[in-house]
C-alpha cells in the first residue's frame, strides 16, 4: 500500500516481523567437503535437542520470543507491551507523533484485541500501516534478518547453546549502522512500484 504519509515519513516507520535462527545454521543447511569413505562431522540438529531461538524485531530490537510461546492475540499483546511500549516511552514526543507501525496480517496481529491494544498505544488510521493478505513480501525487516544471519553464521559457524546463539544475534544487530537501516526502509516504495510494474502479485494502490 503506497500512502503519501508513508512517503513523507518512511524513516520513522516501524516495520516488524519475526524470524527463527537455528543452532546448526540457517534452515539447517550446511556445506563443505568430506573425503570419500569418511564420516560427516556431527552437527547439533533441531531434532537432537539443538533447536534454536525465535526472534522479533521492528527496526528496533531484536527481542527474543520466550521458548514454546505460541503467538496468539493473548500472548502477542503482552509481548508488545514488554518490547515495543518501553521503546515508545523513550522517544521524543515529536518523533512519537511521526511513528507508523506495520505488521503483517497474521491472525494474532489482525485480532480485535490486538487492534485495541495498538490503538491504546496511539496507532490508529494512518499511523497503523495496512499490510494486505496475499501481497508480495516486501518487508524490509527481512533484509535485516538476512544481514544478521549472514554475520551470525559467517564461515559456517554453528552454536552449541541457545544462549550463545542469542548473544551472537544481539551483537550482530548492534553493529548494523543506521545508514543501512535507513537504506532498506527507504527502498520500500521503489520495491512496490517495481512489483506493480512487473504485475507479479496483488498490490493495493
**pLDDT tens digits for range 124-157:** 988 998 777 666 677 888 888 889 999 999 988 8
- The mean per-residue pLDDT over the stretch 182-203 comes to 75
Confidence of residue 167 (pLDDT cuts 50, 70, 90): very high
Q: Would the pTM of this model clear 0.75, i.e. be above it?
A: no
Phi, psi of 15 (to 5 degrees): -80, 130
Q: Coil, strand or helix: which one is 63?
A: strand
Going from the N-terminus, what domains does the chain have, and what CATH number goes with each? Answer: 13-198 (3.30.420.10)
Query: Degrees (nearest 5) of the Cα angle 108, 194, 101?
Result: 30
Helix count and strand count (H, E) for the chain: 9, 6
Query: Degrees (nearest 5) of the Cα angle 21, 154, 37?
Result: 95
The whole-number pLDDT of residue 70 equals 84
Residue 202 has pLDDT above 70, yes or no: no
Amino acid at each position: 500500500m503506497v500512502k503519501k504519509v508513508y512517503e513523507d515519513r518512511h524513516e520513522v516507520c516501524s516495520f516488524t516481523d519475526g524470524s527463527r535462527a537455528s543452532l546448526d545454521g540457517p534452515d539447517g543447511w550446511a556445506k563443505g567437503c568430506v573425503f570419500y569413505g569418511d564420516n560427516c562431522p556431527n552437527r547439533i540438529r533441531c531434532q537432537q535437542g539443538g533447536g534454536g531461538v525465535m526472534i522479533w524485531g521492528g527496526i528496533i530490537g531484536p527481542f527474543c520470543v520466550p521458548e514454546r510461546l505460541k503467538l496468539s492475540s493473548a500472548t502477542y499483546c503482552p509481548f508488545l507491551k514488554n518490547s515495543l511500549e518501553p521503546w515508545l516511552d523513550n522517544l521524543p514526543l515529536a518523533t512519537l507523533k511521526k511513528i507508523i507501525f506495520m505488521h503483517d496480517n497474521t491472525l494474532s496481529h489482525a485480532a480485535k484485541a490486538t487492534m485495541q491494544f495498538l490503538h491504546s498505544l496511539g496507532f490508529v488510521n494512518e499511523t497503523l500501516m495496512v499490510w494486505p493478505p496475499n501481497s508480495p513480501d516486501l518487508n524490509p525487516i527481512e533484509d535485516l534478518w538476512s544481514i544478521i544471519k549472514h554475520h551470525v553464521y559467517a564461515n559456517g559457524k554453528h552454536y552449541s547453546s541457545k544462549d550463545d546463539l542469542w548473544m551472537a544475534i544481539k551483537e550482530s544487530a548492534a553493529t548494523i549502522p543506521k545508514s543501512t537501516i535507513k537504506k532498506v526502509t527507504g527502498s520500500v516504495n521503489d520495491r512496490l512500484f517495481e512489483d506493480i510494474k512487473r504485475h507479479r502479485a496483488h498490490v493495493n494502490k
